[in-house]
Structure 1
Amino acid sequence: MSIRRRAISLCAAAALTAGIISPAIANAQDFNGIVDSIATDSAAGAGVSMAPIGSYASGQLAESAAEIVAFHADSQRILTVNALSGEIDVLDASNPENPTKIGSISAGADKEINSVTVREDGLAIAAVQQSDKLLEGEALFFDASAEDLGSAELGRVTIGALPDNVHITSDGAYALIANEGEPSNELNAEGTAYVADPAGSVSVITLPAVGTVEAASQADVRTAGFEAFDAPGALHEDIRIFGPEAHHNQPSLDLEPEYVASAYGKAFVTLQENNAIAIIDIASATVEKIVPAHITDHSQIAIDSSNKDDAAELRTIPVKGLSMPDSIHAFTSNGQTYFATANEGDAREWGVDEDEGGSGIYTDEVELADVVEDGQVCEGALGDVDLEELASKEVAGNLKLSNASGWNEEEQCFDELYAYGSRSFSIYDAEGNVIFDSGSKFEEVTASLNQAGVFHHNADNEGPEFDDRSDNKGPEPEALTIGQIGDRTYAFIGTERVGGVFVYDVTDPANAKYQTYVNNRDFTVDFDEDNYESTKFAGDLGPEGFAFIDKEDSPNGEYLLVIGNEVSGTTTIFQIEDPLADSEHPIGKNETSAEGSSNSSTGSSESNSGSALAGGALAAIVAVIAGVVAALGVIPGAKDQMLKVLPQEVRAQVEAFLN
């Protein structure tokens, strides 16, 4: 079932369950960040389901007031990066249905925090950007469990320019910080080069032993840089080094680390705009190699390329997609290391318009129609395709391309066209070889869910208009984390624009299987950043950062996923259920099975609950209970309370019935 609608009388539901949900009924008028109609889609026999149970609202819209999130189990606290205030909001999550702000950690005047992480003993680290992003940043250490958060800071060390993401290795021995080193926002007087472009790097910080909650010293900081790759031919030809006309073309300056993960002594770092991934030896703080990131072929993998065709329609076109990954997470399976990436895509655009007193703007972004109309497609490069038809707005005319890839210098034309992002997530082995990519699945699911006034395929995160982003990275996968549930490993991928979370079973990484999609968003609510009181009812907008919580660490004893949403400014907690926990999974450990497909007309997967029911009597009972549970969804927290009191077998069947 794709969009859950409430059809049973609320009065009847209340009469049946008054003893269970009376506290929720009392607060029914208070919006808790969870929308009435949560969009869902699931594969047949999905091993997990999930639903939001609580949310904290910063009260700020479109200001990055909730970005990266982390969870500290001992103190039951969520750390949420609030870039707007330059602080980390500390939330008490001991009741995950009502996370509450208890204080904050400040970066200091005119500084910005971009990321945070925390070790099991409470040693937390924040990546701090200076007001001038060209200057060296800071790693801020604090005690996440401190009673007095005003004195929780432990110290700071200096790191590279524009620290964008911080990660702690699983053994707690090192902190790794991706220093993006973006160029200046200004071009030179001629408009041909950046005024400045600091080097990108990764800081490797040796931490105090686990159990010692203290700041590292400056002597504990080493830098993994990219100078060794400045030599001609040191980089693979698919790795992009580019910029304005007089750009320096030095990889050590142009490579821009975005996100970092690690496993077994190796760090894996996304170099987003460069469409590459760096692999680093942590002990020596040395970049061992840089590998090209995934490139998809949209002549084989369909894409919704038009925002002007009035349709949620995927088509194959002679364009390639640069995955340009953002988030990355490493994991192991059968003793082997893998990492997964969310393939967002990103254009470069720096400078100040001449009309505003600047020297011009550099961007690598162009539109497909302009490339065709300017005669910049090499003759025969796209086969026998009708260029005029391809360039129509109803097909791909507005599709955003990068002019930094595919250009034939000798012929002075493009012999290949490259769009931003692959609208997918990918899995790589430890050497950087792609072993799985989700292809068109994200857009297939959102297109199947599309229904006017209910769910809007490829909507933007700052507006619910249908099809708005089809010409520009589509759903835009950005957030990603990995979690272990029972004997299965799952990837959770957030789509920044349309919103929501896709879940894949990655226990067998080369044969990852789509499980479910959930989106806590109301598409009937218009976005108005100046009117928080009305816009807040839209739910979660712009998922940016994820934190998976194991049930052993969880405040309610269940698996949880915490999501920071940068546009809605909300930090939302989802509870993850394993409906097959007491029965044999349809896919055994490290075995594969055919993936279930969604019904293309409704976006819902056919339920297999009937075959799982033990007889007609149980089926009737489950149907009645499911109807009551569905009706209770309009009351915050009521549905979850109802499900919790059911026996596990019945609960699994009710959830299967609802799906």
Structure 2
Amino acid sequence: MTPRTRWTSAGTLTATLIAAAVLAACGGGGGGATPATPPTDTPLRVQLEKIGGYSTGLFGVSAAEIPAYDAASQRLFMVNAQAGKVDVLDLRVPASPVKIGEIDATAVLAGAEINSVAVHDGLVAVAIQAPVKTDPGRVALFRAADLALLGSAAVGAQPDMITFTPDGRTVLLANEGEPSDDYQIDPEGSISIVDVSTPATPVVRTAGFSAFNAQKAALQAAGVRVYGPNATVAQDLEPEYITVSADGRTAWATLQENNAFAKIDIASATVTDILPLGFKDHGVAGNELDASDTDGGTINIRTWPGVRGLYLPDSIASYSAGGQTYLVTANEGDARAWGEDNAAYWAGDASKGFVEEFRVKHLVNRSGWAGRAGNDLPPQLNALAAGGLLDPVTFGHCGAIAGNPGACRNDENLGRLNVTWTMGYRTNPDGSPMLFDATGAANPAGNRLMYDHLYSYGARSFSIWNADGQLVWDSGAEFERFLASADCKLGSARSIPCADFFNSGHDEGSAKDSRSDAKGPEPEGIAVGQVNGRTLAFIGLERMGGVLVYDITVPTAPRRLDYLNTREDWTTADPGTVLATAGDLGPEGLVFIPAARSPIGVPLLVVGNEVSGTTAVYRINATGGVR
């Protein structure tokens, strides 16, 4: 099959599709006999309640990341990145999980570590990264009941996430293929599609991206971020997370740094589409953000014309509504930062790394950026020009004039915001930078870039897309506005005002507003499940912490139902010193356990918290919904 690239822009559902989704959400449908007793549909109310947990006792070393659950053995499998293993917990009593074993990857590949785990009807699949991450990894299969190794096979470089198809016969791995830290080796990203129907002899097929190499310029023009130095398309695309359609025929992988989806036909093991995701306009009402971490500790959520947020989603899930498949993403954001610890790179050797993140105040300093040389000035940026300017038409709202960014670069405005220097400047028809002089006049002999827009990382939201990557709904500024409101409370008792610790970091105390210049609350993990006939999305906020719950049954009209953040200590400078009582910090991965598979007959949510090294078990208390 010849791959085709579909380049789509954000769109909306047709009236027919919306009506179908609403009808399905209300318990109706097309065809078939009318039930004798019509279903009732009352407003769903949900409250998360932490009922148990397990602690590794390790702080800040990613000792609890990705969970998976096996209903038959009632065992929870939690990736412990610090140990490079999977911790196995007995979840028969969810209030008191007990570690009963572990899965060690070194028996499969010496010196390796496990990045991800998935379970289907007693079969445990793990994604194993090689000791040298640019080398091929492996997939390994274990029996949940006794942890016996059943089989393994080679896959692509840096398998970062693994998932089963609904029938359990196939696993898919997102082989991220990140470059080496010095950028000397850059393996191709890929999707491994593995037949595990005979676990002793798994059969691997690879859906790669090499067929798109000749389409690099067209992909870039369409909005796919293909921008690594000297990289082919296949090298530059980095699959992060995968979801599979209910019929098991199609998969979608987030290409996080590339701000796109890959659409995969599972039967043919072919990437059929690369779908650019576009950006969020932070200059319009509803998409506001707090852009500074040094504005006196105040909460300043406002529009910023000229600032655009790249979605750059991490986790992705899928569900069906009205006969259509929808994709749900946690729009974390991520910057490429290779060679950041390499002195030679910062000394000017562009071959030793690639760092795209730069603060606005340094990017548009009217004196140029030479003063950052040897500190944090990327040599690739320095090779383009000697400084950057802000378009006074776009950024006149914060004081920019020709040749002078004015108050826009002040810390309390946009100065502290982290953006990518690789996008937003004006270019010539051939794609080369258009140059300006220091007065702001276009001049081929000049040495300044003109930034018409600034692109920040992540959308500080979660989104719903259709199967072709068109935006159906986005939460806009709701996360930050809710965290700043009097309705939001922290702690297991829900008694601590969220606003007192707005946009805090997950590994520090007394840190109000500390993440506003970066990615805000940083939504990362997402899980989707059915409760009382409604489809719910659970979104973990990596930095601020806690889990948001939304009813997404109608894709165009999600509704927030709850937020629980069980972090208890918000003031100790180093939470690791009070780890036993600090609570849960840094949610990374989430798994939903439906009532029918739950050890206690009610739905549960399990969260791996990478900073506190804790596993949290939440009971989902629900009333109402479709009965």
TM-score interval (norm. to shorter): 0.7 to 0.9
Q: Distance in 1 between matches of 2:160 and 2:72?
A: 26
Match of 2:66 in 1: 68
Gaps of 5+ in 1: 1-43, 187-193, 590-659
Q: Distance in 2 between matches of 1:500 and 1:356?
A: 37
How much has 1:206 moved relative to structure 2? 1.3
The residue identity in structure 2 corresponding to 1:258 is E
Gaps of 5+ in 2: 1-41, 369-386, 401-405, 427-432, 436-448, 491-495
State which of 365, 382, 391 in structure 1 corresponds to 2:357. 365
Q: Distance in 1 between matches of 2:389 and 2:173?
A: 41
State which of 561, 573, 576 in structure 2 corresponds to 1:515. 561
Match of 2:429 in 1: none
Q: Distance in 1 between matches of 2:208 and 2:556?
A: 31
State which of 300, 308, 321 in structure 2 corresponds to 1:313. 300
Per-residue CA shift, 1:67-114, capped at 9, x if unaligned?
A: 000000011110000011111000000000000100000011421111
Per-residue CA shift, 1:574-605, capped at 9, x if unaligned?
A: 0001133xxxx5xx79xxxxxxxxxxxxxxxx
How much has 1:357 moved relative to structure 2? 11
Q: Distance in 2 between matches of 1:83 and 1:327?
A: 18
Match of 2:18 in 1: none
How much has 1:377 moved relative to structure 2? 3.0
The residue identity in structure 1 corresponding to 2:503 is N
Structure 1 residues 383 and 472, CA gap change in structure 2 (3 angstroms) = closer
Are 2:448 and 1:447 aligned? no
Q: Distance in 1 between matches of 2:267 and 2:273?
A: 15
Match of 2:155 in 1: 159
Are the aligned partners of 2:508 and 2:575 in contact in 1 as well (CA < 8 Å)? no
Are 2:113 and 1:112 aligned? yes
Structure 1 residues 579 and 294, CA gap change in structure 2 (3 angstroms) = farther
State which of 272, 275, 282 in structure 1 corresponds to 2:256. 272
Report the secondary structure of 1:445's partner residue. helix
Q: Distance in 2 between matches of 1:357 and 1:298?
A: 32
Report the secondary structure of 1:48's partner residue. strand
Match of 2:242 in 1: 260
Match of 1:620 in 2: none
Structure 1 residues 86 and 437, CA gap change in structure 2 (3 angstroms) = same
Are 2:90 and 1:92 aligned? yes
After superposition, where does 1:236-247 map in structure 2 within 5 Å? 237-243=222-228, 247=229
Are 2:334 and 1:343 aligned? no
How much has 1:524 moved relative to structure 2? 3.2
The residue identity in structure 2 corresponding to 1:253 is Q
Are 2:450 and 1:413 aligned? yes
Report the secondary structure of 1:47's partner residue. strand
Are the aligned partners of 2:569 and 2:581 in contact in 1 as well (CA < 8 Å)? no
Are the aligned partners of 1:134 and 1:198 in contact in 2 as well (CA < 8 Å)? yes
Structure 1 residues 491 and 541, CA gap change in structure 2 (3 angstroms) = same
Q: Distance in 2 between matches of 1:305 and 1:249?
A: 32
Q: Distance in 2 between matches of 1:395 and 1:271?
A: 31
Which shifted more, 152-161 or 369-378? 369-378
Q: Distance in 2 between matches of 1:273 and 1:54?
A: 35
Report the secondary structure of 1:442's partner residue. helix
Per-residue CA shift, 1:352-398, capped at 9, x if unaligned?
A: 43279995552100111112214523534525322323221112211
Structure 1 residues 240 and 505, CA gap change in structure 2 (3 angstroms) = same
State which of 286, 293, 302 in structure 1 corresponds to 2:270. 286
The residue identity in structure 2 corresponding to 1:227 is S
After superposition, where does 1:217-236 map in structure 2 within 5 Å? 217=202, 220-232=203-215, 233-235=217-219
Per-residue CA shift, 1:397-434, capped at 9, x if unaligned?
A: 11000112213222433221100000000111111111
Q: Distance in 2 between matches of 1:528 and 1:537?
A: 12
Per-residue CA shift, 1:174-231, capped at 9, x if unaligned?
A: 1000000000111xxxxxxx211000000001121xxx6x2343xx101001112111
Match of 2:21 in 1: none
State which of 385, 389, 392 in structure 2 corresponds to 1:377. 389
The residue identity in structure 2 corresponding to 1:239 is V
Q: Distance in 2 between matches of 1:113 and 1:225?
A: 22
Match of 2:189 in 1: 200
After superposition, where does 1:14-33 map in structure 2 within 5 Å? none
State which of 503, 525, 528 in structure 1 corresponds to 2:574. 528
Report the secondary structure of 1:511's partner residue. coil
Per-residue CA shift, 1:9-38, capped at 9, x if unaligned?
A: xxxxxxxxxxxxxxxxxxxxxxxxxxxxxx
Q: Distance in 2 between matches of 1:391 and 1:207?
A: 55
State which of 471, 493, 499 in structure 2 corresponds to 1:434. 471
Q: Distance in 2 between matches of 1:137 and 1:316?
A: 44
How much has 1:129 moved relative to structure 2? 0.4
Structure 1 residues 480 and 357, CA gap change in structure 2 (3 angstroms) = closer
The residue identity in structure 2 corresponding to 1:201 is S
Q: Distance in 1 between matches of 2:393 and 2:536?
A: 40
Per-residue CA shift, 1:268-307, capped at 9, x if unaligned?
A: 1000001111000000010010111241110011001111
Q: Distance in 2 between matches of 1:529 and 1:47?
A: 33
Provide runs of 4+ in structure 1 moved above 4 Å. Answer: 355-361, 449-454
Q: Distance in 2 between matches of 1:281 and 1:405?
A: 31
How much has 1:512 moved relative to structure 2? 1.4
State which of 167, 175, 178 in structure 1 corresponds to 2:174. 178
Identical pairs, percent:
43
Are the aligned partners of 2:569 and 2:583 in contact in 1 as well (CA < 8 Å)? no
How much has 1:539 moved relative to structure 2? 0.7
Match of 1:569 in 2: 613
The alignment's TM-score, normalised by the length of structure 1, stands at 0.76
Number of matched pairs: 517
Which shifted more, 399-408 or 266-275? 399-408
Q: Distance in 2 between matches of 1:436 and 1:357?
A: 41
Are the aligned partners of 1:262 and 1:268 in contact in 2 as well (CA < 8 Å)? yes
Match of 2:585 in 1: 541
Match of 1:49 in 2: 47
Q: Distance in 1 between matches of 2:91 and 2:415?
A: 47
How much has 1:454 moved relative to structure 2? 4.9
The residue identity in structure 2 corresponding to 1:327 is S
Q: Distance in 2 between matches of 1:340 and 1:238?
A: 20
Q: Distance in 1 between matches of 2:553 and 2:391?
A: 46
Report the secondary structure of 1:510's partner residue. coil
How much has 1:525 moved relative to structure 2? 4.8
Are the aligned partners of 1:294 and 1:426 in contact in 2 as well (CA < 8 Å)? no
After superposition, where does 1:541-620 map in structure 2 within 5 Å? 541-580=585-624, 585=625
The residue identity in structure 2 corresponding to 1:180 is E
Are the aligned partners of 1:337 and 1:430 in contact in 2 as well (CA < 8 Å)? yes
The alignment's TM-score, normalised by the length of structure 2, stands at 0.79
The residue identity in structure 2 corresponding to 1:302 is E
Q: Distance in 1 between matches of 2:419 and 2:362?
A: 10
Report the secondary structure of 1:393's partner residue. coil
Structure 1 residues 308 and 136, CA gap change in structure 2 (3 angstroms) = same
Match of 1:462 in 2: 507
Are the aligned partners of 1:454 and 1:522 in contact in 2 as well (CA < 8 Å)? no
The residue identity in structure 2 corresponding to 1:196 is I
Per-residue CA shift, 1:528-569, capped at 9, x if unaligned?
A: 3763xx223111111000100000110111110000011110
Match of 1:627 in 2: none
Are the aligned partners of 1:560 and 1:576 in contact in 2 as well (CA < 8 Å)? yes
